[in-house]
């Protein structure tokens, strides 16, 4: 009996969600990687469906991290929320290409005194979502140094929140700078509004899809390595041939002389 929650109908992903901006995207392919699609069709995804992928959400105080998560997970928005202390968790279940897939969203505190604590949560994360306020240039600047300690083997997303509060002309300037920052940190850029829900669902579907794709590719790589190892163990390489010892020098029988014992031959001093 499975201990995991069932997948909701509105959490089923059959096609790869498209990126928000092609200039700052992890990749702009219109479909999943062919190896991932084939593995799902042949049910060769290994343990991906049983694992929980860890997603860390970080950013300055009051940039909208909690509101972003609550809008997607609970479809609610509360502008009078209490500041997060330490870290909160939300679990979301998806079905990607017919394979169950779980995300654990870590909502970290943005206060300065909690930043050192949040940095310890990076271990084991598959994706890090760095949130800033599109109406606050300083919050975007802080994403630069905030990314210095992030692991290099995770997927990075740079998310501008509170898009509904930004006039089009002002947002256009901020987007230009945000795309530049995203390129520098090799992150995918998104702009969302937790108040209206704009791009929130699309963003988290993109996070789930790219994380799933990465997980399946890693599983296929491990599976391939195991098969190669099995072949090596089953057919060990032949041991190197030892060179025969050098033949003893040829001594003419005339050089040997018998002592008192007839069975003992002594090599003469030459």
The rounded distance, in Å, linking the Cα atoms of 25 and 189 is 6
Instruction: Return the domain boundaries, the chain.
Output: 9-225
User: For 3-27, what is each residue's pLDDT tens digit?
Assistant: 566 788 999 999 999 999 999 999 9
Q: Express as a percent the part of the chain with pLDDT over 70.
A: 71
Residues in the chain: 270
Cα 147 vs. chain centroid, distance in angstroms?
A: 15
pLDDT of residue 262: 45
Average pLDDT over residues 54-76: 93
* Percentage of the chain lying above the pLDDT 90 cut: 60
Using one digit for the tens of pLDDT, what is the confidence trace for 218-258? 999 988 765 544 544 544 555 666 666 665 554 454 444 44
Calculate mean pLDDT across residues 137-147.
80
Cβ neighbours of 248 (radius 10 Å): 6
Cβ neighbours of residue 239 closer than 8 Å, sequence gap 6 or more:
none
pLDDT at residue 21, as a whole number: 95
Is the pTM higher than 0.75? The answer reads: yes
The class that CATH gives domain 9-225 is alpha beta
DSSP SS3 for 184:
helix
């Amino acid at each position: 009996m499975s201990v995991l929650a069932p997948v909701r109908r509105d959490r089923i992903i059959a096609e790869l969600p498209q990126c928000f901006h092609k200039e700052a995207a992890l990749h702009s392919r219109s479909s999943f990687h062919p190896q991932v699609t084939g593995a799902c069709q042949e049910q060769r995804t290994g343990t991906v469906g049983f694992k929980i992928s860890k997603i860390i959400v970080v950013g300055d105080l009051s940039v909208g991290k909690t509101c972003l998560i609550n809008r997607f997970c609970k479809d609610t928005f509360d502008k009078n929320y209490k500041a997060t202390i330490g870290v909160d968790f939300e679990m979301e279940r998806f079905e990607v290409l017919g394979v169950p897939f779980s995300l654990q969203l870590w909502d970290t505190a943005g206060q300065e005194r909690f930043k050192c604590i949040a940095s310890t949560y990076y271990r084991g994360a598959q994706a890090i979502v760095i949130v800033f306020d599109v109406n606050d240039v300083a919050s975007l600047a802080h994403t630069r140094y905030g990314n210095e300690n992030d692991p290099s083997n995770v997927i990075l997303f740079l998310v501008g929140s509170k898009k509904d509060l930004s006039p089009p002309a002002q947002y256009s300037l901020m987007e230009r700078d945000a795309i530049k920052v995203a390129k520098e940190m090799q992150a995918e850029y998104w702009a969302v509004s937790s108040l209206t829900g704009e791009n929130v669902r699309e963003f988290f579907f993109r996070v789930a899809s790219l994380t799933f794709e990465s997980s399946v590719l890693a599983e296929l790589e491990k599976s391939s390595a195991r098969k190669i190892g099995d072949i090596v163990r089953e057919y060990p390489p032949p041991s190197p041939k030892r060179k025969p010892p050098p033949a003893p020098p040829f001594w003419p029988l005339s050089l040997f002389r018998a002592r008192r014992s007839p069975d003992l031959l002594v090599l003469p001093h030459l």
